[in-house]
A = this chain, B = another copy of it.
Amino acid sequence: MHKKLFIPGPVDVKEDVLQKMATAMIGHRTKDASKLQRDISEKMMKLFYTENQVLLSTSSGSGLMEAAVRSCTNKRAAVFAVGAFGKRWYDMAIANNVPADLFEVEWGTPTLPEQVEEVLKTGKYDVVTVTHNETSTGIMNPVGEIGEVVKKYPEVIFCVDTVSSAAGAKIEVDKWGIDVCITSTQKALALPPGLAICTISQKAYEAAKKVENRGYYLDLVKLYDYIQKKDHQYPSTPSLSHMFALDYQLDKILAEGLDNRFKRHEEMANYVREWANKHFEVLPEEKYASNTLTNIKNTKDISVKELNERLAMRGYTISNGYGKLKDKTFRIAHMGETTLPEIKELLSNIEDILGL
């Protein structure tokens, strides 16, 4: 039995979109392949409200996160973390000998503009990395406000992880001043995992060109140059299957309407949070709670494992808390093509199982 996925990725993919993954192969050095990349770029630019170049990487989101911090840091990176995936960016910098400092907050609290200002005014940093939506804690950081701070430091490259929020929440790349905005396919874009996407500003590209030792496969300059010089093609063979599906799914997303799509996510999030606060307690404070995933404190000391096993028998899956929050919280994702009626169905099953 297929279990409906209410986990923070991979998410369920609609049958017609899955079918695009089964498209017959074409050469990756053909005009058709160039057109596919160009079409995807134009649609991603709409989704991200940007004029910046769009790059695809056949990798998970982690691939492009590493690419960003390694390719763009000439001086030192300030990594702001509100959970496991924020911290991963620091691990990536260290694993590449990229000078970096980690600025963590207590899990369940956000990165605030004041904190970023405090750090940037030391003048030590030329890269800032921020997680827009942290799935380990359920935080959605105020990236627009943080962007206002970063803009005061013209040499700083602003990198944002929107892996679990892009296509589920409004992200205004140009207005917010994001230089490298990274996402991947298996979250609110509602596609299978296997392709990462980023936008890159001219400023980030120029900074990256000065960085030595950027590597090869995850070098943003190499990807950017290829797109520019080789009619929208890639240095190595990309995942054409994902590109076919992404191109198709972006049409569907734009047909739904971006505002409608973000509103649908907001409505699901509001409903889950209200439910969670009635029976348990939402981990982050309301203002910073994610619209694609709710992290719920296990105030009733239920066995999350047992709940999930019983949900599985009914055809649903949710997530346990992540890392140090395992069993202390549980997580319900509400992103991608999930609808409010499906969320209600899930929650009423949870109520039934737990006798709430």
Contact = CB atoms under 8 A, between A and B. Distances in A.
Interface of A: 2-3, 5, 7, 9-13, 18-19, 21-28, 58-63, 66, 70, 91-92, 95-97, 184, 186, 192-195, 212-219, 235-242, 317
Contacts of A186: 25, 237
Interface centre among A2, A91, A241 (most CB of B within 10 A): A241
Interface centre among A19, A22, A96 (most CB of B within 10 A): A22
B9 A13 contact: no
A66 B3 CA distance: 37
A19 B212 CA distance: 43
Given A25-B13, A27-B7, A60 B236 contact: yes
Given A60-B58, A96-B213, A97-B213, A317 B91 contact: no
A332 to B, nearest CB: 14
Given A18-B24, A24-B2, A193 B7 contact: no
A28 B215 contact: no
Contact of A92 (B22, B26, B60, B216): B216
Contacts of A192: 25, 239-241
Contacts of A235: 62
Contacts of A240: 10, 192-194
Given A21-B22, A25-B5, A194 B238 contact: yes
Interface centre among A12, A92, A239 (most CB of B within 10 A): A239
Contacts of A219: 95
Nearest to A85: B236
A104 B14 CA distance: 49
